[in-house]
Amino acid sequence: MQVPKIDAAILAFQDWILTDEALAYLPLWETQKNWQTHFNVEAKDLAESYDLALDSKTNRRHYRRGGYDPKRAMLAIMRWEPDFVREAFRDLFSEDRDLEGRVGRFGFYINELFNRFRDAHPKDRTPSHNHDDDYNMVSLYLMGQYPEKYAPYSTALLQTICEKLGAKTVPPAADFARYTKLLQTLRGFLLKDELVMERYAAALRESDYQEESALLVWWFFKMVEKEDLAAD
């Protein structure tokens, strides 16, 4: 990526943090805090732990909107076969294993479990599990478990960031591992900017996760995605 483009985007980010558009994303930090507080893969009642962890009192659009409600399906299969879901999460959170393999297997496991749930409950009307959603839900789970390393993913966001910040190549398809590396790379630029960090700290609410979080970089990515930086 081109450092002058990154620096110019950070200057724009300093002011964007103060906008209502930026502050509308804060419920993700709230969910991150709730996940850190409540989720335990070994909890006796896994469904209750998950229900409390994946929550926001102000906005839930990052996991429930329109016909998209993966939480409802996950709660159904957790109550039905908690040990199988527990094992899927254990594998997903095993940082000693290959990242691409983990996120791919998780989606496969959940799909298989949901199909079995449907077969066992033919009259049930629980909507699709939605975990085949371009890694959206799996990235939310990783974001909650490892706040400093992961953030919400979408292939379109990754491609836009690479294009606007001058990467040598733009991935033609999903590349979760590259996205995660970009979060780490760009974090260093943001941490060095005192005004960004000052305004970031001021923006966070008491209900939000306060420790080091890759959401700061994701927030920056969302600004880059939306703003016409060339016009600045």
* pLDDT (tens digit per residue) in 113-133: 989 988 998 888 777 767 777
Kindly state the average pLDDT of the residues 12-25: 95
Give Cβ neighbours of residue 172 (< 8 Å, ≥ 6 apart): none
Please give the structure tokens belonging to residue 172.
Answer: 């033609």
pLDDT, tens digit (0-9, with 9 covering 90-100), for 77-89? 999 999 999 999 9
Residue 191 domain boundaries? 3-231
Which residue's structure tokens are 């076969």? 81
- Residue 126 is predicted with a pLDDT of 78
Angle at 6 between CA 30 and CA 224, to 5 degrees: 50
pTM: 0.91
- Tally of structural domains, the chain: 1
Q: Has residue 135 got a pLDDT over 70?
A: yes
| Confidence band of 168 (pLDDT split at 50, 70, 90) | very high
Separation of CA 61 from chain center: 12
Nearest CA to 92 among 19, 176, 154, 9?
A: 176
| Confidence band of 220 (pLDDT split at 50, 70, 90) | very high
| Confidence band of 231 (pLDDT split at 50, 70, 90) | very low
Q: Has residue 232 got a pLDDT over 70?
A: no
Please give the structure tokens belonging to residue 115.
Answer: 């199909």
On whether the CB atoms of residues 106 and 129 are closer than 8 A, the answer is: no
Mean pLDDT estimate for the chain: 91
3-class SS at 56? coil
